[in-house]
Structure formats: C-alpha cells, structure tokens
C-alpha cells in the first residue's frame, strides 16, 4: 500500500515540529518519493542519526508501505 506525500509530510512534522519538508513524487505512482527535511533539530547529529529521526517519525512505515523514500537531511544555515 502506498502513502500520500501529504501523509508523509504530516508524520514528519508531527514528530519534528519545526521541520521544513519538501517532498517530490518521483514517478507519480505514490510509491517513490524524495524528501528533503531541514530542521535545527538535526544540529550536532550525524547523518545516520538525522535519517533515523525521520524514520522514527514515520513509525515503521518506511520499508513497508513506503517502499522508496530517497532522503536528504540538512540543518538550516542560520541554525
């Protein structure tokens, strides 16, 4: 089962409230997304930890309903 981009964005923002989330549907099939998540909450964390925070926010959907989410994380420059 696929997930909508809105649903992905909602779940990430619920767990990381000040996150800026940009999602693109790579194939238009509701199953292959790319997401860029930017938040000061990532500051001082390794890339692995940043991605883990996003995966935690998606509470088990990643790797199941959500087959492919190309993830990029960043700390805002002014943080």
Partner 1 sequence: MTDNVSERIQSEIDSNDVVLFMKGTPVFPQCGFSAAVVQVLSELGTKFKGIDVLSDPDIRDGIKSFSNWPTIPQLYVKGEFVGGCDIVREMYQTGELQDLMSTKGVKVDA
Binding site for partner 1 (CB under 8 A): 47-48, 51-52, 55, 60, 62-64, 68, 70-72
- Kindly list the distances between the CA atom of residue 73 and the CA atoms of 1, 2, 8, 24, 55, in Å, as whole numbers in the listed order: 25, 22, 15, 14, 12
Q: Decide whether 9 or 55 has the Cβ nearer to partner 1.
A: 55
Tokens standing for residue 11 = 């779940």
Q: Write down the least CB distance from residue 33 to partner 1, Å.
A: 12
Minimum CB distance to partner 1, residue 64 (Å): 8
Closest CA to 12 of 52, 45, 46: 52
Q: State which residue, 60 or 76, has the beta carbon closest to partner 1.
A: 60
């Amino acid at each position: 089962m696929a997930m909508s981009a809105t649903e992905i964005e909602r779940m990430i923002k619920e767990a990381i409230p000040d996150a800026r989330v940009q999602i693109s549907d790579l194939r238009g099939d509701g199953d292959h997304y790319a997401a860029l998540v930017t938040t000061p909450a990532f500051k001082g964390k390794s890339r692995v930890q940043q991605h883990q925070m996003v995966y935690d926010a998606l509470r088990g959907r990643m790797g199941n309903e959500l087959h492919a989410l190309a993830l990029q994380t960043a700390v805002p420059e002014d943080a």
